[in-house]
């Protein structure tokens, strides 16, 4: 599970952990789950003018997620969440038993399946060179 902020970071910042994670998804080293609502958010946010992401890049990212990702219907939770717009990410990750990688861990309740991109790379791959 990739939060939108990690997806955007992968598109606008070269060489960081978000890009490594998305490259690993593209290389089929990691499985990506998303819901229809998440796909719509990805498309909407990638298209923000202020981000300056080229239309071709936006289309490439969305196409890759549509081709490689697994679309799921999340089970709604009642867990209190600081930002209700993030609930769909929490619920989708929990439904799939997936790790939720985000830059905003404070938006979510403390849960073992929520982590930052840096921690995900460090814990999951022990410094191996992947997704580059």
Q: What percent of the chain has pLDDT over 70?
A: 94
Express each pLDDT in 24-80 by its tens digit. 999 999 999 999 999 999 999 999 999 999 999 999 999 999 999 999 999 999 989
| pLDDT tens string 79-101 | 899 899 999 999 999 999 999 99
CA distance 68 to 123: 23
Q: In the structure, what pLDDT confidence band is assigned to residue 15 with cuts at 50, 70 and 90?
A: very high
Domains of the chain by range and CATH? 4-125 (3.40.50)
* pTM, full prediction: 0.90
* 52 secondary structure, DSSP code: T
| Residue 14 burial (CB count, 10 A) | 7
């Amino acid at each position: 599970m990739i939060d939108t902020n990690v997806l955007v970071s992968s598109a606008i910042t070269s060489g960081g952990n978000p890009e490594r994670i998305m490259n690993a998804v593209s290389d089929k080293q990691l499985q990506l789950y998303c819901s229809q609502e998440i796909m719509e958010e990805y498309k909407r946010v990638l298209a923000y003018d202020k981000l300056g992401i080229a239309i071709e890049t936006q289309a490439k990212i969305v196409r890759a997620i549509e081709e490689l990702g697994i679309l799921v219907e999340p089970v709604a939770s009642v867990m209190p969440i600081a930002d209700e717009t993030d609930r769909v990410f929490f619920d989708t990750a929990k439904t799939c038993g997936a790790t939720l990688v985000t830059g905003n861990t404070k938006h979510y309740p403390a849960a073992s399946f929520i982590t930052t991109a840096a921690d995900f790379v460090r814990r999951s791959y022990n410094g191996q060179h992947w997704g580059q």
